[in-house]
Amino acid sequence: MPRRSPGAGPQADPSTDRHARIHAEFRWQVPARFNLAEVCCGRWARDTPEAIAVHHERDSGERSAYTFARLQADVNRLANLLQRLGVQRGDRVAIVMPQRYETVVSHMAIYQLGAVAMPLSMLFGPEALAYRLQDSEAGVAIADESAMASLQAARAECPALRHVLAVGAAEGQGDGDWRAGLAGSDNRFTPVDTAADDAAILIYTSGTTGPPKGALLPHRALIGNLPGFVCSHNGFTAPDGGPVLWSPADWAWTGGLIDVLLPTLYFGRPLVGYTGRFDPVTAFGLMQRHGVTHTFLFPTALKAMMKAVPDPRARFPKLRLQSVMAAGEPVGDAVFAWCRDVLGVPMNEMFGQTEMNYIVGNCASLPLPGGGTAPGWPARPGSMGRAYPGHRIAVIDDEGNECPRGTPGDVALHRRDVHGDPDPIFFLGYWNNPRATAAKFTGDPADSWCRTGDTAVMDEAGYLWYQGRSDDVFKAAGYRIGPSEIENCLVKHPAVLNAAVVPKPDAERGAVVKAYVVLAPGFAGDDGLAAELQAHVRGRLAPYEYPKEIEFADSLPMTVTGKVQRRVLRLQEEERARAAGSVA
């Protein structure tokens, strides 16, 4: 197939399409010197010191609020403490804590030092922690009671880890305690002057093959995320006090840190943190208590909320919620319709990944300069959306050529935007893994496409239609199967809480479609229900897409970011087939 020039294919008319007009007018503004702590905390501590930066609530009901002035003072104290512990520019500091105030302080202090924050999930066991601490050669770790036991169990394998700072109920179990360390530190600190290209964050991606890879993000990456953040939240404005944001997404991951914590504080708005397990009823109550106007929810969480609270506005009449952004898995039109018709909030799906996040999505509306709002590019149920301003997106083939509209391919982001300017959203590379970094790009590193590893189709209007991870798409009897559409169909049945579709090896057809189904409360899995679900899918999708086999499960394997791990189920099916002798 001949190579297509960048931007080839039918183009939207800027005079009639607001999405095209915004893209045509948008230009990146990236200063040479830029620091996340300064733009997310320092400037607000000077300009609006008494404004609330962080609301925190525990599952016990205990609540606290912290101003930007208090936040900055604690950030300075911690920066001085870390400096005494030998942390220098470029050093990696691990943060192993949930959504709590000290997590925010830790990030800002590390950025002020010009060091690199390495957030790690409190759910990681000793082996997962040891690998990441070894690979990054982190010298200091900050942890609370949720992770201290696992961290200490991993420590023997981490010779570079010279100091563990204990927080909360873990105090006394590390090499030093948070409260004592901050009490003995000055609340004044002169931040290190950092370039926009300097490293700020190291996040290890779960990956589908091989060990996790550390994606190294620069300070400027936040700038690249902001257009998508604003558009996905319909301008991120709210009357009567302004926007307030909460999400159950773990701050140790891209979704919680870069989609929630950093952009919320960048705009000087209150961030709500909650320490406790996710519960759909608790989530609605939390949002009502804190006046949350904007939220980011994983589809898994949305499905649970839809099932648990069918009419949230009746049960929680003081909800201020105005926008819902969803990412991680396709939402599907069942949840989309519930948000629109029952919750009364527009649903904007977003797509991205750690290496370059917030690149595609929807925008129901945007504010007008003179007041009021106008449509942006409203969602088409089932679509991932269109490229956010400043990002040049295409679907490419194995050779790096742009695919014709309607042809499946790998979703890719170009290094340069439609004006030829560098896109600031990109990661710097994989930590100590130049080969993997090079494999991520197609062509000249300075003027190339970066592959996401996700398969989609782009329609004539530029909307992307997700088919699945490249290694999740499979063939059955010669047909190409994307699991998301089938899963979405299953979830529409009242008996289904969640579902995952994978190929089951079959000697005759190569593979058949199999569905793992988690049932909603009050339903029991039996042959009759399995047949009913098969008929439910067969009647709504193509005949070859209905699951030939359904297995009822108590739960699905999930990543700590709330994504279904289809790979685990696929490998399980392959192992079962080998054990049964049905495949080689």
| Higher pLDDT, residue 239 or 107 | 107
Dihedral angle computed from the Cα positions of residues 204, 210, 211 and 216, in that order, rounded to the nearest 10 degrees: -30
What is the separation of C-alpha 7 from the centre of its chain, rounded to a whole number of angstroms? 27
Residue 8: the pLDDT is 33
Q: Predicted confidence band at 266 (pLDDT cuts at 50, 70, 90)?
A: very high
Q: Predicted confidence band at 7 (pLDDT cuts at 50, 70, 90)?
A: very low
Q: How many angstroms separate the Cα of 559 from the Cα of each of 213, 307, 344? A: 15, 22, 30
Per residue in 486-517, pLDDT (tens digit) is: 998 899 999 999 999 999 998 877 899 999 99
Q: Which domains does the chain have, with CATH numbers?
A: 69-219 (3.40.50.12780), 479-580 (3.30.300.30)
C-alpha span between 439 and 445 (Å, rounded): 10
Residue 581: the pLDDT is 81
Residue 333: the pLDDT is 82
Per residue in 278-304, pLDDT (tens digit) is: 999 999 999 999 999 999 998 889 989
| Higher pLDDT, residue 404 or 466 | 404
Reduced 3-state DSSP string for 178-222: HHHHHHCCCCCCCCCCCECCCEEEEEEECCCCCCCEEEEEECCHH
pLDDT surpassing 80 at residue 207: no
Sign of CA dihedral 419, 425, 430, 436: negative
C-alpha span between 387 and 219 (Å, rounded): 22
Q: Predicted confidence band at 12 (pLDDT cuts at 50, 70, 90)?
A: low
Place of tokens 């990661």: 427
C-alpha span between 115 and 132 (Å, rounded): 17
Residue 582: the pLDDT is 66
Give Cβ neighbours of residue 378 (< 8 Å, ≥ 6 apart).
346, 362, 363, 364, 365
Q: Once rounded to an integer, what is the mean pLDDT over residues 325-340?
A: 86
Q: Once rounded to an integer, what is the mean pLDDT over residues 533-557?
A: 91
Sign of CA dihedral 104, 109, 111, 115: negative
pLDDT surpassing 80 at residue 329: no
Which of 429, 44, 354, 36 lies closest to 195 in space, CA to CA? Answer: 36
3 state DSSP class of 164:
strand
Q: Predicted confidence band at 2 (pLDDT cuts at 50, 70, 90)?
A: very low
Q: Predicted confidence band at 222 (pLDDT cuts at 50, 70, 90)?
A: very high
Which of 97, 150, 144, 148 lies closest to 128 in space, CA to CA? Answer: 150
Residue 231: the pLDDT is 97
* Window from 158-167, 439-448, 452-461, 477-486 with minimum mean pLDDT: 477-486
Residue 143: the pLDDT is 98
**Maximum CA extent, the chain:** 72
pLDDT surpassing 70 at residue 392: yes
pLDDT surpassing 80 at residue 350: yes
| Higher pLDDT, residue 527 or 466 | 527
Residue 584: the pLDDT is 55
Tokens of 130: 């040891």
What is the separation of C-alpha 108 from the centre of its chain, rounded to a whole number of angstroms? 20
Q: Predicted confidence band at 466 (pLDDT cuts at 50, 70, 90)?
A: confident
Which of 509, 511, 550 lies closest to 527 in space, CA to CA? Answer: 550
Q: What is the number of H-type helices and E-type strands within the chain?
A: 19, 29
Q: How many angstroms separate the Cα of 287 from the Cα of each of 259, 263, 321? A: 18, 19, 8
Q: Once rounded to an integer, what is the mean pLDDT over residues 425-454?
A: 90
Question: Across 93-107, 430-444, 466-480, which has the greatest mean pLDDT?
Answer: 93-107
Fill in the DSSP letter of residue 100. Answer: S
Number of C-beta neighbours around residue 366 at 10 A:
17
For 322-388, the DSSP string reads: -EEEE-SS---HHHHHHIIIII---EEEEEEETTEEEEEE-EEEEE-TTSSEEEEE---TT--BEEP
Residues 71 and 46 sit within 8 Å (Cβ to Cβ): no
C-alpha span between 485 and 466 (Å, rounded): 9
* Window from 2-16, 202-216, 535-549 with minimum mean pLDDT: 2-16
Residue 233: the pLDDT is 97
User: Which amino acid makes up residue 43?
Assistant: R
Q: Once rounded to an integer, what is the mean pLDDT over residues 555-570?
A: 86
Q: Predicted confidence band at 128 (pLDDT cuts at 50, 70, 90)?
A: confident
Place of tokens 């708005």: 269
C-alpha span between 439 and 462 (Å, rounded): 26
User: pTM value?
Assistant: 0.86
Residue 211: the pLDDT is 76
C-alpha span between 55 and 246 (Å, rounded): 10
Q: Predicted confidence band at 542 (pLDDT cuts at 50, 70, 90)?
A: confident
What is the separation of C-alpha 196 from the centre of its chain, rounded to a whole number of angstroms? 22
| Higher pLDDT, residue 50 or 124 | 50
Residue 472: the pLDDT is 81
Give Cβ neighbours of residue 541 (< 8 Å, ≥ 6 apart).
485, 486, 489
pLDDT surpassing 70 at residue 583: no
Fill in the DSSP letter of residue 38. Answer: I
Question: Would you call 444 exposed, middle or buried from its count of C-beta atoms within 10 A (0-12, 13-18, 19+)?
Answer: exposed
Question: Would you call 316 exposed, middle or buried from its count of C-beta atoms within 10 A (0-12, 13-18, 19+)?
Answer: middle
Q: Once rounded to an integer, what is the mean pLDDT over residues 136-147?
A: 98
| Alpha helices (runs of H) in 416-493, residue ranges in sequence order | 434-440, 483-491
Q: How many angstroms separate the Cα of 89 from the Cα of each of 142, 193, 425? A: 17, 10, 22
Mean pLDDT of the chain: 91
Which of 361, 352, 383 lies closest to 452 in space, CA to CA? Answer: 352
Q: Once rounded to an integer, what is the mean pLDDT over residues 111-133?
A: 93
Q: Once rounded to an integer, what is the mean pLDDT over residues 142-169?
A: 97
Residue 14: the pLDDT is 55
